[in-house]
Amino acid sequence: MSNTQVTLKTTAGDMTVEFFEDKAPNHVANFVKLASEGFYNGTVFHRTIPGFMIQGGCPDGTGMGGPGWNVDAEFNDTPHTRGVLSMARAQDPNSAGSQFFVCHGDANFLDGQYTAFGRLVSGEDTLDAIANAPTKPGGEGSSPVEPVKIESAEVTTTEA
């Protein structure tokens, strides 16, 4: 049995996540694959809403991009509470690709509609810094003035 974690090293600090491999194995494998290949390096958190979530993983920084494939939904019983890692998607439940979000607050209205596949084990201060950064006016007001960049996503695996 192994324990895989990914540390997102950002311009606002580090966040480390662990995964729910038993609840969303395809989402975990997809995220770890993208992280290990450097896909997330240089991407930004393009959408931030204090008390709700921070979203990243778009290769072009607009919220419209992805890796070129989709991962089918793996809805599970994990509640969307502070620190939970979940996949962003379009209207189609099976449209998740590379974009993810970390809950900044409880978002139980997302339960059963988005695939939760991990949680923060460290870096809540970084989560707060990203979520509370100033955003541009207009739209839903979720576009950061100075988006936080993921400098690297480092995968570590230890034997349990």
**154: number of Cβ within 10 Å:** 15
Structure tokens at 115: 């695939």
* pLDDT in single tens digits along all 160 residues of the chain: 469 999 999 999 999 999 999 999 999 999 999 999 999 999 999 999 999 999 999 999 999 999 999 999 999 999 999 999 999 999 999 999 999 999 999 999 999 999 999 999 999 999 999 999 999 998 888 999 999 999 999 999 987 6
Dihedral through CA 134, CA 91, CA 78, CA 122, nearest 10? -30
Q: Where are the beta strands (DSSP E) in 11-149?
A: 13-19, 47-49, 53-56, 84-87, 100-103, 116-122
Strand pairing report for 13-19 and 100-103: unpaired
Q: Which two tokens stand for residue 54?
A: 């921070």
Q: Collapsing DSSP states into helix, strand and coil, what is residue 126?
A: helix
The answer to whether the pTM exceeds 0.75 is yes
Would you list the DSSP string of 6-35? EEEEETTEEEEEEE-TTT-HHHHHHHHHHH
Cα angle: 99, vertex 159, 41; to 5 degrees = 30
Q: Domains in the chain, ordered, with CATH? A: 10-159 (2.40.100.10)
